[in-house]
Chains A and B, each alone.
Chain A
Amino acid sequence: MKNTLWAVICLVLLAGPAFAWQPPAAQGEFVPATPGASTEQLPAAPLVIAAYAFVWVAAMGYVWTIARRLTKVEQDLHALERKSPTKR
C-alpha cells in the first residue's frame, strides 16, 4: 500500500512538467478582424520616402559643407594676399 502511494506520488510529480510543456492549443478556425480595426501593422510609404529624403539631404548637406569650406579657404587666401602682396 505504501509502495503504491509512493508510485502514484512520483507519477503525479513527473506528469506535472510533461503537462506544463504542452504547446498552446492549435487554432481551429480563423477569426475575421473587426470591421474598421487596424490590421496592417506598418505602412511602407513613409519608410521609402524617409530613405529617399535622407539620401538627398545627406548629399546636399555634404555639397554645402564643401562650398562653405572652399569659401573659407578663398577668404583666408585673399587675407594672406593682402598681408603680403609680394609673397605669392
Chain B
Amino acid sequence: MNRIFAPLVALAGMLFASAPFLIAQAPYESTMGLVQKIFYFHVPSWMAMYTAIAVCGVASALYLFRGGKTADAYAVAGAEVAVLFGLMGLVTGPLWGRKAWGVWWQWDVRLTTALLMELIFVSCLLVRKYGGPGSEKLAAATALFGAATAPFVYKSVDIWRTVHPKTSVVPELLKGSMPGSGLPFLVSALAFVLLATVLIMLRVDLAKRQATLDELYLAYEDS
C-alpha cells in the first residue's frame, strides 16, 4: 500500500468529522430552509463521482490502447467508486427535491442523464463480472463511453431548461452569495474527494492482489 494512504485516511476522517459541525453553523437558504443543507453532501458526492470517473476514464483508455494490469486495476476501482458516489447523489438528490420541488423525481435532462451515466458504470461492472474471458477490454470501452458522457451531464443544466439548479450555484456560493456557507462546502467537498481517493487506492490494492491470485492459480494448474 502507498505510503500516503494512512495520512490521507486520517485527513479524510478529520474532515468528515468536522464537516457536520460546520454545516450546522451554515446559514439557511431563504426559500428552501433546512432541506438545502443536503446540498453540502449532495454536490460533493457528485464531485467525488467525477474524480472517480476521471480516474476510470484515463485508466480505461490506457488499458484499451496499451494494456497493463495496473491500468486495469485503476479502471475497475474508478468504476466501482463512481457507482458508489453516483448512488449517493441519486439518493440524496430526490430527498432534497421532495421538499424543494414537491416530487421525488422529475424526468428532466439533468436527473435523467445522471441516472443514465450511473447505469453505464453499473453496466461496465456487470460486463467485467459476468462477461467471461476478455471482458476487461469491453468493460474498459464501456467505461470510456461513460466518461465521455460526464461533461454533457455536468453542462446539461446550462444548455437545457431544467428544474435543477445551474452549475453557477457553486461558483457564486464560493464568491460569497451566501456568506458563511463557503467554508462548510469546501471542507465537505475536500472530504468527499479524499474519501474517493482513499477508496480507489484500497480497491486498486484489492484488484492487484486478485490478479496475483489468478496468476498463481494458473501457474498451479499448469504445473
Q: Which residues of A contact B (CB under 8 A)?
A: 42, 44-45, 47-48, 50-52, 54-55, 58-59, 62-63, 66, 69-70, 73-74, 76-77, 80, 83-84, 87-88
Contact = CB atoms under 8 A, between A and B. Distances in A.
Contact of A58 (B37, B84, B220): B84
B95 A50 contact: yes
A66 to B, nearest CB: 5
B219 A87 contact: yes
B220 A59 contact: no
B34 A48 contact: yes
A48 to B, nearest CB: 6
Interface in B169-223: 195, 199, 202-203, 205-206, 209-210, 212-213, 216-217, 219-220, 223
Interface residues of B, number: 34
Contacts of B216: 77, 80, 87-88
Most chain B beta carbons < 10 A, residue from A42, A45, A47: A47
Nearest to A41: B102
B122 to A, nearest CB: 14
Contact of A47 (B99, B210, B217, B219): B99
A76 B213 contact: yes
A59 to B, nearest CB: 6
Nearest to B45: A55
Given A54-B88, A77-B209, A87-B219, A66 B95 contact: no
B99 A84 contact: no
B186 to A, nearest CB: 17
Instruction: Say what secondary structure dominates the interface of chain A.
Output: helix
A88 B81 CA distance: 32
A76 B87 CA distance: 31
Contact of B91 (A54, A66, A76): A54
Contacts of B84: 58-59, 62
A44 to B, nearest CB: 4
A62 B38 contact: no
B42 interface: yes
Contacts of B203: 66
Given A47-B99, A77-B209, A84-B223, A58 B88 contact: yes
A55 B41 contact: yes
Contact of B99 (A44, A52, A59, A69): A44
B209 A70 contact: yes
Given A77-B216, A80-B213, A59 B195 contact: yes
